[in-house]
Structure 1
């Protein structure tokens, strides 16, 4: 009959002294305290799994007490009763913990971002990762995604709101929700707290891009002339071109000289550079004809003497292989005293309203010059009219109208157009 081990007392592990050779103090059930020659004491448990004799480590005494070691032995015995090897179970749990800890929000956000790159424009891709790097990664980026709770997400978003960037807070929240969903789709459990926060953030009031009215044109043109000396010459030309041809800011500053034919007076923007051409679903593959007035052509010829030797109409001052920054137009408007009163997009709104109301052109002609998508999808499928001839006349009329205001020959306001 096997000899039964007498359970240890609390005093025995505490008072055990080292000897010339390592020795054991047994507690029964395979559990024992191994005392090394240097006096270090380690809890161990011997057991059999199948035909193999194995040993588990339960930690060092006194960090792990006798009572805690017995709890570990009991847990191991329960696993053995279920046919589970406790050593392998411990390794599996540690591996899962390591995987969990390695799946941080930043790691998964960057994976998601890289996965989405083929479907995004460069501007969208850059803005998305930049917002995460500025506002989210410093707050929760290093946390395992499964450990992120509502209060963590709220604190990060509140910090964005605290600087008055309410719309950005909403956009970042939506981006974070997509990252959590991406993790879930890869079998990484998380709560997706961003998806459930419908009433936490302050609502964003719907509004329009800041834009001056036709009545404010004389003062605006005067401010533009007054500030010419303060502006970098290509920036000055960019502002005037925005006024004359009212394309989107990105469509202007990212234009390569290869799109411009100065001899023919033509500028055709390839469809893939247009806003509707960048759609991932049913992109519009129609190239956009930018009808140029004589005034616009003169500006482009002047610009060509400055930047015509490079790739872009408006190269970046630091790196000519890149286009001008989007913020250059806004900075110029700020120097003119029009911060929050006028934007790059505001030139489009100004032209739309003024050309219809003051010059009497039909909405669809101006709309086609703006390259807007038709709201009526059925009509859009059949209506391929470019109105090129009418648009050329309209754009020259618009440029002459602007010149007339600048020279005082056109009076704006309730009187409409009047030649002195």
Structure 2
């Protein structure tokens, strides 16, 4: 049987099918070509199956150049020989064998596609679960909206602390993955900076936040529960720093040369003469101050115990407020921020005073005051809150009843019985206490001793 040629395959079609054939492997099948009247040129593999039936099995379409989806004559010959080889190997039902192989491949492809689809579904579900998991940042945002918003500053100070020291470390962490070690990682970083009190404060705030999450079933377990606060930076030590009269005299000489703004220097003496909290002073508005009448009303929203507090201003305190008034201009705030959109940060004065009480071996902080030792006193570091304590101590040393001094501090009576049944306002006694304190401070600040030899002996409290 002769070989099929390209010339035969490209001949013009006739009125009926034209068949051509060549042996692939003798006795095991042939390559057959068919040219239809319409011009189709098709290849077949012809063989005898296991039932002795003659089978003509299509294997492709002819083209001379073997363009896409077609076969050259040579390619058709090779395919026919492959199939004849199967037949020779004992596979008599070639068509069924090929169909079974294709079915198996299709099943394998379908299985693989199903596996890939299942894996993608699992991955998407895992991603969805991960996306749905609450992170520490999500918890903080929720806590801020529900709880922090009710604080006097709307939670601004807590947001500042968390944005600086907590969320950069824990914010992206899923809630259910937070462990004890993550909490101590935050506090250890603060302790390494030497801010032990801040470490304790932030730890307490984190505990509040995680307990908030437990209360709302956002978390099953509070990761701070097994951490003792006393282990964060050691045991709290109650401050009892009180400036002596000699230190007050010296402070009057040091303050003008400490590089402070006039209003900041005045804040020292206002805090000392009114026994106010520094935050109450920083938030003060002129609408609540009457310098002619000598009164300052600290509204409930600015006081720690949520109760309005009326302060009688001595001549000494009035003089200091006039210095502040001259510096604040037409602002509604005594201590406006740079944009005059509200008061300055409540820690502004505290930081400025602290910057000027650094020991020589501590150096000078970047972009801070160069007069790092300007306000150091012999009795040790002091804060605005110590001025409040000093003012109350001076009052009692000057003969003011301790109960009156406590009222000047706007402390809430701890004894429930007294709080319930003793309703005397002590308004006159408090006014007298502030006036006596102001007169005494005026005398002390006019004494400008050389340190320490000529420091005046204190009449009540004792010089340092």
Q: Does the TM-score normalized on the shorter chain lie above 0.5?
A: yes
Cα distance in 1, alignment partners of residues 312 and 264 from structure 2: 21
The aligned residue for residue 44 of structure 2 is: none
The aligned residue for residue 48 of structure 1 is: none
Task: Quickly say closer, same or farther: Cα 1:25–1:105, change in 2 above 3 A.
Answer: farther
Q: Which of the numbers 117, 122, 130 marks the counterpart of 1:57?
A: 117
The aligned residue for residue 121 of structure 1 is: 152
Cα distance in 1, alignment partners of residues 164 and 323 from structure 2: 40
Q: Does 1:260 align with 2:260?
A: no
Q: Is the 8 A contact 2:245 2:444 kept in 1?
A: no
Cα distance in 1, alignment partners of residues 394 and 191 from structure 2: 36
Q: Does 1:321 align with 2:361?
A: no
Task: Quickly say closer, same or farther: Cα 1:303–1:99, change in 2 above 3 A.
Answer: closer
Task: Quickly say closer, same or farther: Cα 1:170–1:25, change in 2 above 3 A.
Answer: farther
Alpha-carbon offset, residue 119 of structure 1: 2.6
Task: Quickly say closer, same or farther: Cα 1:328–1:338, change in 2 above 3 A.
Answer: farther
Cα distance in 1, alignment partners of residues 109 and 167 from structure 2: 46
Task: Quickly say closer, same or farther: Cα 1:127–1:211, change in 2 above 3 A.
Answer: farther
The aligned residue for residue 237 of structure 1 is: 266
Cα distance in 2, alignment partners of residues 56 and 408 from structure 1: 88
Q: Which of the numbers 324, 327, 331 marks the counterpart of 1:310?
A: 331
TM-score (norm 2): 0.64
* Cα deviation digits, residues 237-294 of structure 1 (max 9, x gap): 22222222121111112111101123322222222321111xxxxxx4xx31111112
The aligned residue for residue 299 of structure 2 is: 270
Task: Quickly say closer, same or farther: Cα 1:226–1:257, change in 2 above 3 A.
Answer: same
- How many residue pairs get aligned? The number is 338
Cα distance in 1, alignment partners of residues 446 and 107 from structure 2: 99
Q: Does 1:376 align with 2:415?
A: yes
Q: Which of the numbers 32, 57, 70 marks the counterpart of 2:108?
A: 32
Q: Is the 8 A contact 2:241 2:382 kept in 1?
A: yes
Q: Is the 8 A contact 1:211 1:341 kept in 2?
A: no
The aligned residue for residue 22 of structure 2 is: none
Who wins on radius of gyration, i.e. which is larger? Answer: 2
The aligned residue for residue 195 of structure 2 is: 165
Cα distance in 2, alignment partners of residues 131 and 146 from structure 1: 23
The aligned residue for residue 107 of structure 1 is: 138
Task: Quickly say closer, same or farther: Cα 1:417–1:177, change in 2 above 3 A.
Answer: closer
Alpha-carbon offset, residue 120 of structure 1: 1.4
- Over the aligned positions, Cα root-mean-square deviation in angstroms equals 3.4
Q: Which of the numbers 423, 433, 440 marks the counterpart of 1:394?
A: 433
Q: Does 1:43 align with 2:112?
A: yes
Q: Does 1:301 align with 2:377?
A: no
Cα distance in 1, alignment partners of residues 321 and 433 from structure 2: 19
Q: Is the 8 A contact 1:112 1:182 kept in 2?
A: yes
Q: Is the 8 A contact 1:212 1:341 kept in 2?
A: no
Task: Quickly say closer, same or farther: Cα 1:415–1:274, change in 2 above 3 A.
Answer: closer
Secondary structure of residue in 1 paired with 2:108: strand
Alpha-carbon offset, residue 196 of structure 1: 1.9
Secondary structure of residue in 2 paired with 1:298: helix
The aligned residue for residue 135 of structure 1 is: 165
Q: Is the 8 A contact 1:149 1:191 kept in 2?
A: no
Task: Quickly say closer, same or farther: Cα 1:194–1:242, change in 2 above 3 A.
Answer: same
* Cα deviation digits, residues 169-214 of structure 1 (max 9, x gap): 3333333334334444444455432222238644333221644233
Cα distance in 1, alignment partners of residues 107 and 128 from structure 2: 25
Alpha-carbon offset, residue 152 of structure 1: 2.8
Superposition misfits of 4+ residues, deviation over 6 angstroms? none
Q: Which of the numbers 351, 360, 367 marks the counterpart of 2:399?
A: 360
Cα distance in 2, alignment partners of residues 108 and 417 from structure 1: 51
Q: Does 1:250 align with 2:290?
A: no
Task: Quickly say closer, same or farther: Cα 1:98–1:236, change in 2 above 3 A.
Answer: closer
Q: Does 1:221 align with 2:252?
A: yes
**Which deviates more, 300-309 or 141-150?**
300-309
Cα distance in 1, alignment partners of residues 183 and 102 from structure 2: 51
* Cα deviation digits, residues 206-238 of structure 1 (max 9, x gap): 2216442334222222212444xx222222222
Cα distance in 2, alignment partners of residues 202 and 303 from structure 1: 38
Cα distance in 1, alignment partners of residues 438 and 102 from structure 2: 98
Cα distance in 1, alignment partners of residues 102 and 213 from structure 2: 48
The aligned residue for residue 406 of structure 1 is: 445
Cα distance in 2, alignment partners of residues 384 and 143 from structure 1: 52
Q: Is the 8 A contact 1:145 1:180 kept in 2?
A: no
**Which deviates more, 152-161 or 335-344?**
335-344
